């Protein structure tokens, strides 16, 4: 393991350690677990699971019991839903904190612990402070910094230990993507197709490490590999850079750039032909059949095609009484329904629709200088009717399967 992954090189102050697993829910390539296991005579593992919405809770609950059983090969295992219930009297190992609630956990442990507290970075390829010492403006500014260190941290660990069934599922999923979909990844923006990687849920919970994905990719010689690495590493770690260095990443008034706030202020009172509520969205009650299909994919399947995810948020801006209402609505839906909700990528993706990591465009009504997207663009670029057909079919199959399981 590269020593730069750990926040401290302090000598052990106890023989026993508590590892609080809060975002790396796996064994394979879990550098926090590896640090605890190799530096201490004995460890106990506490899974800290913050309660989210039903979509995320159901997903987590479906794999956590098997994971806990698998972790017993390292020490005692328990699960906690309130970090103030965590008991320790020894050194503590933490997964690296990025989001607000993760930083609150780290601050609480550090203030309560008379022993060493060490955080270990395991869910990005290049540690965030190694990649950059500030909030980066865009993918263009962080890309060379990421690529400078891209292969310095390919440090797999715990390969010879048993890993959980959910980890194996993620591994199989990535292997299948590389084999069957990577050759078509240049068509990833086409909603009518399913050539995206569909791994954001696995990555959100740390079920698989991006390092392992790079190792699996290494054998592929396909030209689309570079494009996928751009998404997996550069774009994803730009999102981690955003939430790590911007302590108010979740606040409408602090998440984007001055030029974006200025143009939003100018166009705050522009006339809107349609105004919709949160209830309209989750009941698929808008005039836009493409938006409604995207909402069905979100509500029923917990995901949304990447291009439609941009379109979805842009339409919410267009149909809201003001920009803050639009932002709050998009974040609420994002964190409630997406499997990868409440993640750095989720917050960065919504902020992007308000100008973050983007540039100013030609001024227009409602959007000002923010990037604009419309249904005519979908019809011009894609076979968008096939997207609607695909989602209707997938939702029907999912609901039928769920009904059978209930009965």
Quick: pLDDT tens for 185-211.
999 999 999 999 999 999 999 999 999
pLDDT (0 to 100) of residue 79: 96
Residues 6+ apart with CB under 8 A from 386: 192
**Hey, which residues does 43 pair with through a beta bridge?**
17
The tokens of 330 are what? 């998009």
Report which DSSP code applies to 368.
B
DSSP 300: H
State which residues of the chain have pLDDT below 50. Answer: none
Output the pLDDT for position 9: 56
User: What is the spatial distance between Cα 112 and Cα 222, in angstroms, rounded to a whole number?
Assistant: 50
Count Cβ atoms within 10 A of the Cβ of residue 103 and give its class: 0-12 exposed, 13-18 middle, 19 or more buried. Answer: middle
Sheet holding 76-80, edge to edge: 76-80, 42-48, 16-21, 91-95, 117-120
pTM over 0.85? The answer is yes
User: CA-to-CA distance for 175 and 179, rounded, in angstroms?
Assistant: 6
Start-to-end CA span in the chain (Å): 48
C-alpha dihedral, 228 to 233 to 235 to 241, nearest 10°: 170
- Give the C-alpha separation, 117 to 6, whole Å: 10
pLDDT number for residue 399: 83
**Domains along the sequence of the chain with CATH:** 3-122 (3.40.50.620), 131-245 (1.25.40.80), 252-406 (1.10.579.10)
Query: What are 382's two structure tokens?
Result: 């894609």
3-state SS assignment for residue 99: coil
pLDDT of 407 reads 53
Which residues have a Cβ under 8 Å from the Cβ of 302 and sit 6 or more positions away? 55, 59, 201, 337, 338, 339
């Amino acid at each position: 393991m590269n020593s730069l992954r750990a926040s401290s090189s302090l000598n052990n102050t106890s023989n026993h350690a508590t590892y609080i697993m809060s975002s790396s829910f796996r064994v394979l390539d879990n550098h926090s677990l590896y640090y605890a296991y190799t530096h201490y005579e004995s460890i106990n593992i506490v899974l800290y699971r913050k309660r989210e919405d039903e979509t995320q809770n159901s997903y987590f609950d479906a794999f956590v019991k098997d994971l806990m059983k698998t972790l017993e090969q390292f020490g005692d295992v328990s699960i906690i839903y309130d970090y103030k219930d965590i008991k320790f009297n020894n050194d503590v190992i933490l997964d690296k904190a990025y989001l607000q609630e993760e930083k609150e956990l780290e601050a609480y442990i550090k203030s309560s612990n008379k022993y060493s507290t060490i955080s270990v970075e395991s869910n990005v390829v290049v540690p965030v402070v190694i990649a950059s010492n500030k909030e980066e403006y865009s993918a263009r500014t962080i890309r060379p910094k990421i690529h400078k260190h891209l292969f310095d941290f390919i440090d797999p660990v715990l390969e010879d230990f048993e890993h959980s069934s959910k980890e194996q599922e993620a591994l199989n999923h990535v292997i299948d993507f590389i084999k069957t979909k990577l050759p078509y990844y240049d068509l990833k923006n086409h909603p009518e197709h399913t050539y995206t990687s569909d791994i954001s849920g696995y990555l959100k919970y740390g079920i698989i490490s991006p390092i392992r994905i790079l190792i699996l990719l290494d054998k592929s010689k396909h030209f689309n590999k570079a494009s996928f690495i751009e998404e997996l590493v550069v774009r994803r770690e730009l999102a981690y850079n955003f939430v790590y260095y911007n302590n108010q990443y979740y606040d409408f008034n602090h998440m984007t750039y001055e030029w974006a706030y200025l143009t939003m202020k100018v166009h705050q009172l522009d006339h809107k032909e349609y105004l919709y509520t949160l209830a309209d969205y989750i009941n698929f009650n808008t005039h836009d059949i493409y938006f409604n299909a995207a909402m069905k994919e979100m509500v029923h399947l917990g995901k949304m095609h990447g291009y439609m995810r941009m379109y979805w948020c842009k339409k919410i801006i267009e149909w809201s009484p003001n920009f803050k209402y639009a932002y709050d609505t998009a974040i609420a839906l994002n964190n409630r329904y997406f499997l990868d909700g409440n993640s750095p990528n989720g917050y960065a993706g919504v902020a992007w629709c308000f100008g973050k990591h983007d540039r100013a465009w030609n001024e227009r009504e409602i959007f000002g200088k923010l990037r604009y997207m419309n249904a005519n663009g979908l019809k011009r670029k894609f076979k968008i009717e096939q997207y609607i057909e695909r989602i209707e079919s997938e939702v029907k199959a999912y609901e039928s399967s769920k009904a059978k399981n209930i009965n």
